[in-house]
Chain A
């Protein structure tokens, strides 16, 4: 009902932009943001992302007089615990964190603890390029509705990378990975599941091996967990002794594993960004012979978001950055393989001709898969699954 009423108001606001309260608010936000320094807490392990955020900072300075300072995290949880520590210390305004690159369990933890500012996404002028219908990818973060408390900025999807000079027979799915490892002992590993990427590897295997994948969309119960993960652990127990260092020690994160691939210590790396291998070849980190493969049934995927803490010192500036990240020009720049190569989160149907052309003009690379190569995007399990999965893994294999 509210939507029905809102539609004409929205239409009127397009006709008379300055008279609209929403747009007047936005002008006020812009005015308020001028001169602010936005502390953007973002995982700092990827130099290309860091360079992209530097570019965002330059653009924001030029266009709005807002400085963006990246706080390079080694784990997003650091920023979450910082906000929690501030709340614990009674610091309800002027907080150190203005904007966080966030998703999944971290988002759920902050949302449930009331640590987020918002809802703010529908206030952003560039939100009109998003598909914000209920249940759409841009409004669901690991099955959790975002309800406007976080704004999308880049698409993430699980993919493996391998060196085509060394591996001629990449497996077709997770079950095939076990056969491959039997033939090549010690040449496979995955990041530690306490890290996001390692947990994603287990989730990808879970989604493929679970007897009833639909059960994974519900919050986990002990009964469902036991039933759905039994094949996973049987598979993993067979795989583990065949891994590097007999599965007793794991690379810390995907970047360290990428190094291992570059050094020839293992034959696979894995990323939550199918464009990452192409980008790393361009950087000279991975050899040019690296290619992407994905399991045949598709891989899990999600959208990366930015959120603003409830006590952020520079909320206006942070909203401006979130809006800038959704600008079609920004998204096209981001999708450029020479820049970041991350797939855009915008709804192609909502773009105008110029924006569509900007995306069509982007360059390609041999290691860069097309959307068709990547197969279907499988839904992420409910975050409670990941939490239980990683805890269980630690119980089973940390001795």
Chain B
């Protein structure tokens, strides 16, 4: 028990704290390698004096809070529509599995003034022989970035809502509300959903933290002059002058404060909304009983954008040359697939994903099993949420420096460790529920037959939990493949994974290469999820009671 706690703290907690502490210290001017150990506020004043800093701050707040708020708002009718349509909700997983960078690249190809969407309707409907002079990707308000974030976050929050709904008598409450004459949409919004919200609070805060500090999507879809705070920090860390690490780190601290303030603001907003909601319920207005179609409409809009993005990626990866306003490329060829170097980065991403996921599974099982054996919960919840709530850019650069001090050079090991910090929480969350829900009667029977704890683990728990373990592994792979900063910073350019290559090529000249890398990045998690479905089904092909175990 103690050993498990110590291992988990050392492997997951210590790096995050070390990285955050080093960033904080650097922000106050502590650069012992350059002979600077006096602390001061100069980094902060310098960071705040940079041109356009207020615009960056506004952008960060608008995109971060906007994406979280609108994603949550969209997930409410969507979850209501899906709660009675279990088969349709299966489509959320493939969308969830698409890495942010890949989706952002596809979306940019779709909605740019010269993007596929404009090409499809030009010139016959618009008269555009040349791309219109409108502002889409990189717009100064960050609306494209919000849209990109929503495409990823709405499915996540919807799925979380459905998971929470599965544990409550939703159908009965809906029926009761309708029997009292309320429109179904109103029952959902005013009665059912507020009960689910407590289970959504942590996912929402994770979404908020992510949206405020995202880098890869902001590089591709966000404005660049000035960019969001997170992108600004990355640029400062990349500046040739090492003294720039001080304002960069100071800005990372400021970003953390902004995130804290936004979370506080959010929680104040929750209370206000709750009061308003109660008042509305007391009024008791029934609402018209018209059919609620906004769920279906949202699915249609989101699905069109997501499929359009993927379609644009596929077409560009096969295009020989594609002139505006042609709706389709002049001809399709596999030449680029044959000549581009996508196999190397794909292999790197696959290796990183397999190793970090395997380690995360081992750690999660170590945690859960040692809880089972001691009968007590490990008080380590912070290990799960800390890496997800802190800005990645705020501790990964510090961590890279910390790794160097500890004699761990930039490379595959450092990247694997950094990825583990993000893979572990999701694997743990995915595995903990089914593990703790395992019927203890099976274990009691085994124990009464003389099976010791190790045998019970190997012969009962692991085989019975194969489905959830595979599902957790698939989530781990998806999280790993999506990591951008965790490869870029601790890899110091030596590790070329699909995420870093795709983002780099997104600002290169050849769109077809970016499309190929993005498609590969999207494909790896799908393979993972397909295997997570297939492996338990095959393994349990003669165990009917264990089939369909994928959460």
Contact = CB atoms under 8 A, between A and B. Distances in A.
A84 interface: yes
A249 B225 contact: yes
Nearest to B131: A265
A24 interface: no
Contacts of A260: 114
B113 A394 contact: no
Contacts of A91: 404, 409
A172 interface: no
Interface stretch (A44-52, A174-182, A206-214, A365-373): A44-52
Contact of B401 (A72, A89, A245): A89
Interface string B127-151: 0001101010010100000000000
A280 B401 CA distance: 39
B40 interface: no
B496 interface: yes
Contact of A249 (B223, B321, B400, B513): B223
B297 interface: no
Interface string A242-280: 001100111011111011101111000000000000001
A239 B53 CA distance: 25
Contacts of A397: 225
Contacts of B55: 398-399
B242 interface: yes
A163 B428 CA distance: 55
Contacts of B400: 85
A85 B242 contact: yes
Interface residues of A, number: 63
Nearest to B411: A96
A283 B511 CA distance: 11
Nearest to B115: A263
Interface stretch (B62-70, B361-369, B379-387, B501-509): B501-509
Contact of B510 (A47, A54, A186): A47
A71 interface: yes
A81 interface: yes
A105 interface: yes
A285 B494 contact: no
A41 B493 CA distance: 8
Contacts of B439: none
B508 A45 contact: yes
B237 A255 contact: no
Contacts of B494: 39, 69, 71, 96
Contacts of B324: 263-264
Contacts of A252: 224, 507
A265 B507 contact: no
Contacts of A194: 225, 235
Contacts of A89: 33, 401, 404-405
A394 to B, nearest CB: 5
A88 B492 contact: no
Contacts of B52: 394, 398-399
A398 B509 contact: no
B89 interface: no
Contact of A81 (B140, B240, B496): B240
Given A263-B114, A264-B114, A285 B240 contact: no
Interface string A74-89: 1101111110111111
Interface string A216-256: 00000000000000000000000000001100111011111
A249 B130 contact: no
Contacts of A143: none
Contact of A75 (B32, B113, B238): B238
Contacts of A395: 51
A167 to B, nearest CB: 12
Given A252-B507, A283-B510, A78 B138 contact: no
B493 A81 contact: no
Contacts of A94: 409
Given A72-B493, A249-B138, A265-B131, A78 B238 contact: yes
Contacts, number: 153
A41 B509 CA distance: 19
A148 B499 CA distance: 38
Contacts of B505: 45
B319 to A, nearest CB: 8
A96 B492 contact: yes
Interface string B251-268: 000000000000000000
B140 A248 contact: yes
Interface string A94-112: 1010000000011001000
Contacts of B348: none
A258 B504 contact: no
A366 B33 CA distance: 53
Given A249-B225, A250-B224, A258 B238 contact: no
A109 B240 contact: yes
B323 interface: yes
Contact of B225 (A78, A192, A263): A192
Contacts of A249: 135, 138, 140, 223-225
A91 B324 CA distance: 51
A45 B513 CA distance: 11
B437 to A, nearest CB: 46
A47 to B, nearest CB: 6
B343 interface: no
A399 B52 CA distance: 5
A106 B240 contact: yes
Contacts of A90: 33
B351 interface: no
A8 interface: no
A164 interface: no
A398 B501 contact: no
Contacts of B237: 81
Contact of A77 (B238, B496, B511): B238
Given A105-B240, A399-B52, A47 B504 contact: no
A173 to B, nearest CB: 26
B71 to A, nearest CB: 25
Contacts of B223: 249
B238 A46 contact: no
A284 interface: yes
A73 interface: yes
A18 B335 CA distance: 49
Nearest to B139: A249
A46 B131 contact: no
Contacts of B513: 47
Interface string B66-93: 0000000000000000000000000000
Given A90-B33, A249-B225, A250-B224, A264 B130 contact: yes
A398 B226 contact: yes
Interface string B28-63: 000111100000000000000001100100000000
B410 interface: yes
A71 B493 contact: yes
Contacts of B238: 75, 77-78, 81
B9 interface: no
Contacts of B31: 88
A65 interface: no
Contact of B511 (A96, A259, A265): A259
B493 A73 contact: yes
Contacts of A256: 507-509
A72 B501 contact: yes
Contact of B404 (A86, A253, A284): A86
Interface in B182-235: 223-226, 235
Contacts of A69: 494
A398 B235 CA distance: 15
Interface of A: 39, 41, 44-47, 50, 54, 69, 71-75, 77-82, 84-91, 94, 96, 105-106, 109, 186, 192, 194, 244-245, 248-250, 252-256, 258-260, 262-265, 280, 283-285, 287, 394-395, 397-399
Given A45-B508, A46-B508, A398-B52, 5 more contacts: A45-B507, A72-B493, A77-B239, A186-B133, A265-B130
Q: Which 5 A-B pairs have the closest CB atoms?
A: A88-B33, A263-B114, A255-B509, A84-B242, A398-B52
